[in-house]
Structure 1
């Protein structure tokens, strides 16, 4: 991890970062300071790593139109996806962000892998547009209580590969832990689908917790967790309402594909994609 920077050093890095962005004809311009700052912060103020992260962030979005279109939160398709999940985006003790995804779809009757991926981009984009506080760590909880082997038939290899690359190397957060709770006995079969796309550093972050176990409390205090998980930090359904308020307040921006790179010539894009894919964040 890079050493801490003074405010003056950070301001200089911001100027250099924006100059670089503006010098790249394929990258979007007039980006908000808060987004650029997130890239610097997520990369511990290493300017070269921030450039690589931003390049990949914008390029993946440009290359994945199916994941960033038809995502008006008021549309019937997105409403259907929103009705089977509860989401939480919380700031908790220790300067940490807690992201929770809870599936509520017994039998996976309404689950659609593509729509869920669109929902991921929709909700994280809304958060990036809205949130200003820079926390030290990000922790993800995935509640898979309703996941069955039926998900294998709904799985999409191409989408999984894109999501994995975006989540590991592009989205400007400091991901430190991923907890899969209420994990069924066959979770290894499901995890086996995405594991080939994960770096070792990422797989080391992932912890599985079986139903009714209390192992999650080794990592998070009950005061930080919603009541649904034995904590005292509100209810998931109320946190979902807060997430929806943020989404609807940013609806005008979210109905379009925000923050995407312009298309390049095929050879140049291929070369740069290869170079960018090797970015690795310092975890500690």
Structure 2
């Protein structure tokens, strides 16, 4: 597990002042409740926040706080754990090797096993976040990222296994704490009950996310956003099939197993040392009991 080259990243984004970045790193190291992140890791936040010092501080603190209190997605990141092994058999999560013409990175998620009884939303999202973290760590900062969800094989049985509170947590993280510039969120191979899936999401989405949410009734429309040529062969592209790309990344996860568990520890806060009032999960996400299970009958 090797971080992207710092000098190369600063060269690609000359608008980022390294002196300002150093001030940001120094601020992190002065926070008693934070771990000492690497400059390469801190750079993701500064870039995602468009070089705003105050916003970078806020988003970083939110990110580390979510990772500390959202044990659903961000703790026990040993890829050899049974629940993650099951998730690795259930879905294919594929970061693409090529970028769009604008330099955007693309990641695709789809079912590998369509048996709904094997689908656990929490474990799948934990695997998704784990892969995304490793991918970004090694890839460095980019002009933007595109998330693609392929719904082929998804049934109402899968939707019934999605907890509304867990969906709220993930969308909170994506909108308030993720260290990326999200350019597009695309659904392809949509299903007749798409309204049920959107019904899970839209109560927790801000207008900034809804404005980049795309639901494609055909792939030709999707290809206007993500060129077919950079996609896996599953979609008529030139890259290896999703199943092959998945196995390649799973091997990388296993090779980086110890590093990712160390990454987990470094990206948490110590609430006992936080200046002022300590935070907890309720401060971030509210009370779980406030949510009813979504009616999908």
Alignment of 1:1-284 (within 5 A): 7=14, 10-29=17-36, 31-90=37-96, 91-93=98-100, 94-132=102-140, 134-210=141-217, 213-255=219-261, 257-258=264-265, 259-264=267-272, 268-269=277-278
Gaps in structure 1 of 5+ consecutive residues: 276-284
- Displacement of 1:238 in angstroms is 2.3
In structure 1, how many angstroms separate the alpha carbons of the residues matched to 2:144 and 2:275?
37
The two structures have a TM-score, normalised by structure 1, of 0.85
- Displacement of 1:6 in angstroms is 7.8
- Displacement of 1:252 in angstroms is 0.2
Q: Secondary structure at the match of 1:98?
A: strand
In structure 1, how many angstroms separate the alpha carbons of the residues matched to 2:48 and 2:108?
20
Check whether the contact 1:130–1:246 (CA below 8 A) recurs between aligned residues.
no
- Displacement of 1:158 in angstroms is 2.3
In structure 2, how many angstroms separate the alpha carbons of the residues matched to 1:8 and 1:222?
31
The two structures have a TM-score, normalised by structure 2, of 0.82
> How large is the Cα RMSD of the aligned pairs?
2.5
- Displacement of 1:183 in angstroms is 0.8
User: How many residues are matched?
Assistant: 267
In structure 2, how many angstroms separate the alpha carbons of the residues matched to 1:9 and 1:267?
31
Check whether the contact 1:129–1:250 (CA below 8 A) recurs between aligned residues.
no
In structure 2, how many angstroms separate the alpha carbons of the residues matched to 1:244 and 1:57?
25
Q: Secondary structure at the match of 2:246?
A: helix
Check whether the contact 1:113–1:156 (CA below 8 A) recurs between aligned residues.
yes
**Which 4+ residue blocks in structure 1 deviate beyond 6 angstroms?**
none
Gaps in structure 2 of 5+ consecutive residues: 1-11, 285-297
In structure 1, how many angstroms separate the alpha carbons of the residues matched to 2:23 and 2:276?
27
